[in-house]
A and B are shown apart, each in its own frame.
Chain A
Amino acid sequence: MLFKRLILMPRLVKTSSICLKQERTYLAVSLLNNKLRLRQISFNNNQILRFESIGSTGPINEKIQTDTLNQNESNENEESVEEIILKNALKFVPEYGFTTEAISKGAMEVGLSSAAKGIFNNGAFDLIDFFYKHSNKNLEAYLENLIQEGKIKRKNELIRSAIVYRLTLIQPYIKHWPQAMAIQTFIPSNALVSIENLLKLCDQIWHQVGDNSIDINWYTKRLTLAAVYKTTELFMIQDKSENFKDTYEFLDNRLKDLGTFNQVKSNFSNLAQAVNGSLTVLRNVLNLRN
């Protein structure tokens, strides 16, 4: 379908070919608006030259199609246009906040029209969502390295450094993060995605640190970690101390609380064992065992 449209477009491209940059912008944006993903088409010079020659008809056209098709199949790992735009948009977040303006600027940075923000249906939330997932990926790589190095062995220390690192990823945007948290929370459809993101983050941390629980602990571990992370995040957006010193202290206290919580929990399971044991004694007394 992409190629059919490319064939239909030459006339449009020709009429708008005032200068090379505009032509490129026009072509890319029309494709984007039609929800056609230019996943594998990167904006390097070769590619632009190819698109330039789309105006001509006949065999050249066919050649372009097959060329692009082959390219489509070959590069699987390249980022999609959306990702490229959002990645560049992050550069403008300190100035514009998590807004559609930042997305527009990001699009212009890669040579697209500012109207390219139209492909993001959820506007600013798409940017926040991308940032969240992108940071999760960074954390994964960081934690992987940390574990490979082997300096920190204890699980709770690994978890602490994971949370600290994940928080530092937010710090460059701290001024606008309250706004982002609001967008994540107060629109129901966004909130669902955000909760999923948070739980995925906690799942990822636990997985990398080495958790193989397969019972109710699986849930408690992730939920308590999520609670710790979220409260610390909330604390951080109000933290005025130098280098977020207070935030890290807050985090340590929350982790300590968890230790107490788990002690209480294990006391409860001891209680369960005691009850079980006394039942066995009772069964023995009543001679109910074979």
Chain B
Amino acid sequence: MLGLNRTHNLIQRPLVRYSSKFNYNSLPEESKKQLDRILRVDHAGEYGANRIYAGQMAVLGKTPVGPTIQHMWDQEKDHLKKFEELIPKYRARPSALLPLWDIGGYALGFGSALLGKEAAMAVTVAVESVITEHYNNQLRDLLEKNPEKHTEILEVIKQFRDDEQAHHDTGLEHEAEKAIFYRPLSEVVKAGCRAAVWVAERV
């Protein structure tokens, strides 16, 4: 009853009631709003990143770079799982455009991988650099006001920022810069990611 049937779960989530463990109401009003935005966009971002790697794996899964991409994908899966826990906990609203991020991410991953391993890595580098920058901005915002209330989120974002930075470096190691049209490709992807971040914060 009441929408309890969930057949489509990306990752099976345990059913937990958070109300007794953590006092959401003790957060100041502005923190609630801030965390709502942050968790929505980060969840959407990790969701999209997952789909990018899924698209890349569909093409490059059987090639020598397969395991590298798989490793990064596995880390993104962990990130996504974490945000799926945090969204109900902090009563954030998930992005309404998840189907769009799903298709968009997969298409980006799949399309870039078709252009070759270097182009796929170039996309990874571009995406991860925007995400790292975005996480850094969030850390700055969270530290600005009531940092003592945000310790959990701060820890999570710090760790994920480092992971994304590592993915960025992995991409560079795998000759991302040798991709065809590296500059324009990377700029277009970066602009697209920034636009997606802007939208996902809101919708």
Contact = CB atoms under 8 A, between A and B. Distances in A.
Contacts of A269: 5, 7-8
Interface stretch (B15-23, B144-152, B154-162, B182-190): B15-23
A255 B15 CA distance: 22
Nearest to B93: A218
A214 B94 contact: yes
Interface stretch (B83-91, B130-138, B166-174): B83-91
A210 B3 contact: no
Contacts of A265: 3, 5
B88 A255 contact: no
B19 A211 contact: no
A290 B62 contact: yes
Contacts of A156: 1-2, 4
Contact of B3 (A148, A221, A273): A221
A270 interface: yes
A277 interface: no
Contacts of A216: 96, 98-99
Interface size class of B (residues with CB under 8 A): 20 to 34
A147 B17 contact: yes
A207 interface: yes
Contacts of A258: 1-3
A92 to B, nearest CB: 28
Contacts of B117: none
B13 A217 contact: no
Contacts of A255: 1-2
B97 to A, nearest CB: 10
Interface of B: 1-8, 13, 15-20, 25, 43, 61-62, 83-85, 87-88, 91, 93-94, 96, 98-99
